[in-house]
Structure 1
């Protein structure tokens, strides 16, 4: 019995030693894998920096190429705005950090200057057009993607700048700290289809709303949020509401 017990103890010790050996081997393998991953990331970063540096001018001037580069970065989990220094890779590699923030300042300029007439809600295409005019660049040089990316840099301001999807791929930009409810989003979408004009009758016909619901949504946009004008002399004979952000203005 004593001999068998000794054999059992030796087997137990051998098992413990094997477990320690496997743990040490696992640690060594994990360390090697981490080091290999770091080496791969350094190599990848160097390759991406070389590509960005080589094509810097084209990325700055060609919106299609710039957005293709952004999509490539996004597909592999790299954010050009994130990096070791403020401004990330835009500033570090492409020298585009100032460009991005300058665009953000111009977006603020347009939003503030048009706020009196649109209540702080502007259609994305209109914003792109006015920013392009402010920058005195050819149409298409500044795109919706550029504006969306720059608006992300404005969030720390806490001023409520946000891109709102109103359906069917259409977007608007809000530049005031206020939330739009679901009914107001519906009103905005219909207003864009109608050139800015909405009425209680139109909402009832299009959405099947009760009179009270349609009236409440429009009156809230008029009285509470200042997002529309009331036309009491509309040709239909009934009051109509003009949603300022859905109207196009010649400037």
Structure 2
């Protein structure tokens, strides 16, 4: 997996729909509000174009091709539409998983074409399957994680619930096999100059946007 400190800055897309946006030194709450509003205001046609580009970047990457168990998510609140890549999971014989709330952490349950879904307390679809179907976090190869903002150092600003940080809190303590690779998924304009990190924040191994990758996803080690 790729050291977050080696993450390069993402080149902004040349398209107008996701032009780079400057954010000042707002606190986390203000920053969340501004970026979430900008996401929601992106025209539907632009959202679709960005989603298709992101899906193409994902499917073409060595990391995606070699990963067998991949966690993904349904878009909410203007997030880039990751469902555009779902058909590629099935055609490439990947095992796709969705996060499911379990207390203050996440479980991961399989997603197939006919998987029954229910909505959690945030209105997000989850597989309606028995607990025995779940995959442990360390059993995943790749996690495509939602975010509100990110920086070139691999810091991630989420919605504030802390679910991903708590679920993958074991990663910094494992020096040998560190699974899964955690890749942030976002629009290019969600990148900011820098984010302050809390001690419990789990850094990203890379970020992919409609403009491409923010690091080398084919690197064999973290």
The TM-score with structure 2 as length reference comes to: 0.30
Considering only CA atoms, is the larger Rg found in Structure 1 or Structure 2?
A: 1
Considering fraction of residues, name the structure with more strand. 2
Higher RCO (C-alpha under 8 Å, 6+ residues apart):
2
Considering fraction of residues, name the structure with more helix. 1
